[in-house]
Structure 1
Amino acid sequence: MSVLQIETASVFQSLLAPARYKAAHGGRGSGKSHFFGGLLIEDSLAERGLRSVCIREVQKSLKESAKRLLEDKLAQYRLGEADGFKVFREVIETPGDGVIAFQGMQDHTAESIKSLEGFGRAWVEEAQTLSTTSLALLRPTIRAPGSELWFSWNPRRKADPVDVMLRSGELPTAATVVRANWSDNPWFPVELEQERKDCLRTNPDQYPHIWEGDYASVLSGAYYAGSLAQARADRRIGKLSLDPLMPIKAFWDIGIRDATSIWIAQFIGHEIRVVDYYEAVRQPLAIHLEWLRTKGYAAATCYLPHDGNREDAVTAVRFEDHIRQAGFAVQTIPNQGKGAALKRVEAGRRLFPSIWFDADRCAAGLDALGWYHEKYDEARNIGLGPDHDWSSHGADAFGLMCVAHEVPGKLPANTRAKALALSIV
């Protein structure tokens, strides 16, 4: 009988005790995957007949799975067929007719997921990509006595389902969650240390996400990545106050079956002062208008995209008329025609050097701008225009603001002085 001894970093010690949910999140080089890989081999050796599955949201081939890591662990621990481990192309057999399988959650339906009911371990890698649907399918399926669900990931967004479940609010019963970074790894490689230092020097905006496990504030390659970095360097993202003498403008992206987004801004001289941001998913129009009122923006002029003149499916009244009847001034911006989304991006990039943001109230909107990126067809090696994901609603409303912007004429001296008196830190 093999006796396995595995050195474990202190940050992972609490994950060695039995728990329904075990989770480790953090940046590159922390050893999260190596820990769970070693623990899976250990549990398979200790619990004969254990059936386990390594999961990703999307797994196009075994090259994208943890199979190679587990094979390396078996070699490191000198475990083979004599110990009950046998490596096949699709699976790894473990002692006592156990198995380790490798699957993608997107390949499963409500019926096919039942094939995992008798499994005692489910390890989700790259868990930040796991969808709400996949998580809802997986959790009740892994229900054998003493079964455990493991999650390892580099955090991306607070709204990602795994973060909502394991980092926001109340944890599930019997959950152990740790944060692990490169500094917690006593075996952190010298080669990675140089990569870390290079990233800190050449890509400081991405460093906290890549190496320290912070949420991503700017996606590499995003349309506004460079503009946001420059805005932070110029200290144009700080604290703003409304100018009581200047008009308030509310720029909308209207969501019917998804999110509605609104940016609140004032055009002061050649500058755009963005003081607030709002987003709500699948809420009636009245909720959005009530937010404007309660936040003190009842006098705002609402700028709508071209579909603002479309009739509501229920009332048969145009959205712009609904908003106008609620007491708001309304302007609907005409369709920019072919390539409208990229035209909004171009307008945003052109005006970005003259835009200021309130950091706290616009945080969610800034996250959207930092994520808004090109949809890419890898097979054809071409871009397909802006990706219509969660970030596109805030980015579209922002682009509408930039398209609608008109540089005002020369301001009276007292107005100009008032503009310069805005509280910016």
Structure 2
Amino acid sequence: MTIKLPKWAKRFLAENIRYKVAYGGRGSGKSWNIVRMLVLKAASNKTRILCCREIQNSIKESAHKLISNQIDELGLSSIFSITENSIKCANGSEFIFAGLYRNVDKIKSMEGINICWIEEAQNVSRESWDLIAPTIRAENSEIWVSFNPKLKSDETYQKFIVNPPPNALVLRVNYQDNPFFTEAMREEMEYKKRVDFDEYLHIWEGQPKISSKAQVFYGKWEIKELGDLNGASCYFGADWGFANDPTALIKCYILGRNLYIADERYAKGIEIDELDNFFGSMSGAKTAHIIADSARPETISYLNRQGYSISPAKKGKGSIEDGIAFIRSFERIYIHPKCVNTISEFSLYSYKVDKYSGEITAQIIDDNNHAIDALRYALEPLIKTGPSTIGLRLDI
């Protein structure tokens, strides 16, 4: 039997590791492919598989139907016995279904579980995670996790995305990774992308939900083709990448009381000897003056030797807050649709929300801000000389 699986699913099968996590947005095929892999494992060798979710009031709320359909589609019905509440294979394999909430004693008593699949894991509480880890204790047992993120503060997101354990394979899986993504779903996705980019990021890209009012630039920006910017003042700014952080170059314009973000270069893993071509591919970058993060003087020096004109940003105490206030002082911020990483950062750059009260604090989360930092550096001379330079008011 030849079974087609996407690349991420093959890693689930190939690697022997305690936690295997697939998270992301709608249309990725996470559950469908996980079920297919579990059925194949059950058919190949005796395997006890616990399928659970936080709340399961009846078998209809479980993956029972999805597994049954996959068995039939794979042509394996002759070796599986499917009843209303259980699924067993002739080789002794078994699928067990349970809700985590209020089933502590039942789950604790389970023996010999080889794989525990937790679906819709975004809803799983800390208490349930504390229950699962010691319960799945068979030799070489694995815990498979699939979920669409809701909030960054959710227990599962914190456990596997923010602070992943060392024995975990964590894969972000989205519709781009699904070779069976339908045209009907694509049309739905593209529509959401056009009319509500925040919701698109959450639903289709698997970004955690952020209260719109927690966005640092809430209500100030929109995606728009920029058209003719004759007479506008042009500014360039750069932020250097460290480790897993991206390098970002931003080209922006000011015309009247509006800020226009026209182009970006944004990528991880750019080596210093690749920067000339990387930056040089942006129109005007090599002839304009660029203000860059001062943390990498050797990088600035290297690029200046390649013919660029780059100076370090002054930064200093309060420079982030001053820069944000200045950017917000524009009547409108327009971002060209091709600046996808800048758009993503403007959607995600946010103030911290108190996890208990739900109140938005004044503390800015230091994340999703590389293009935004480059933008602040680009505008630094105007921030220091004051808004009168371009006829703007700083009140927000």
Q: Distance in 1 between matches of 2:347 and 2:72?
A: 50
Distance 1:395 1:178, change over 3 A: closer
Write the mapping of 1:148-163 to structure 2, written as runs, cut at 5 A: 148-163=142-157
Which position in structure 1 is the counterpart of 2:163? 169
Residue-by-residue CA offset, 1:208-231 (whole Å, 9 max, x unaligned): 01001111113xxxxxx5x67997
Q: Distance in 2 between matches of 1:359 and 1:100?
A: 41
> Which residue among 383, 394, 399 is the counterpart of 2:359?
394
Q: Distance in 1 between matches of 2:361 and 2:139?
A: 49
Which position in structure 1 is the counterpart of 2:184? 191
Contact 1:62 1:102 in 2 (8 A): yes
Q: Secondary structure at the match of 1:167?
A: helix
Which position in structure 2 is the counterpart of 1:133? 127
Residue-by-residue CA offset, 1:170-228 (whole Å, 9 max, x unaligned): 5232x21111110111111112111112222333221101001111113xxxxxx5x67
Matched to 2:197, the amino acid is P
Q: Distance in 2 between matches of 1:45 and 1:360?
A: 43
Give yes or no for the alignment of 1:102 onto 2:97. yes
Q: Distance in 1 between matches of 2:184 and 2:350?
A: 39
Q: Secondary structure at the match of 1:178?
A: strand
Q: Distance in 1 between matches of 2:194 and 2:136?
A: 44
Contact 2:52 2:117 in 1 (8 A): yes
Give yes or no for the alignment of 1:93 onto 2:58. no
Q: Distance in 1 between matches of 2:151 and 2:94?
A: 33
Distance 1:394 1:359, change over 3 A: farther
TM-score w.r.t. the length of structure 1 is 0.53
In the TM superposition, residue 21 of structure 1 has moved relative to its aligned partner by 1.0
Moved over 4 A (4+): 227-231, 358-362
Matched to 2:194, the amino acid is R
Matched to 2:128, the amino acid is S
In the TM superposition, residue 64 of structure 1 has moved relative to its aligned partner by 2.1
Equivalent pairs, count:
251
In the TM superposition, residue 362 of structure 1 has moved relative to its aligned partner by 5.8
Matched to 2:108, the amino acid is K
Matched to 1:10, the amino acid is K
Distance 1:203 1:42, change over 3 A: same
Which position in structure 2 is the counterpart of 1:214? 207
In the TM superposition, residue 69 of structure 1 has moved relative to its aligned partner by 1.0
Q: Secondary structure at the match of 2:156?
A: helix
Which position in structure 2 is the counterpart of 1:363? 351
* Structure 2 alignment gaps of length 5 or more: 223-316, 319-345, 363-387
Matched to 2:57, the amino acid is K
Aligned-pair RMSD on alpha carbons? 3.5
Distance 1:21 1:396, change over 3 A: closer
Q: Distance in 1 between matches of 2:159 and 2:192?
A: 30
Q: Distance in 2 between matches of 1:394 and 1:150?
A: 34
Q: Distance in 2 between matches of 1:361 and 1:212?
A: 16
Distance 1:198 1:62, change over 3 A: farther
TM-score w.r.t. the length of structure 2 is 0.56
Distance 1:364 1:117, change over 3 A: farther
Distance 1:15 1:231, change over 3 A: same
Q: State the identity as a percent.
A: 34
Contact 1:26 1:180 in 2 (8 A): yes
Residue-by-residue CA offset, 1:379-416 (whole Å, 9 max, x unaligned): xxxxxxxxxxx46441699xxxxxxxxxxxxxxxxxxx
* Structure 1 alignment gaps of length 5 or more: 219-224, 237-294, 297-357, 369-389, 398-416
Distance 1:214 1:30, change over 3 A: same
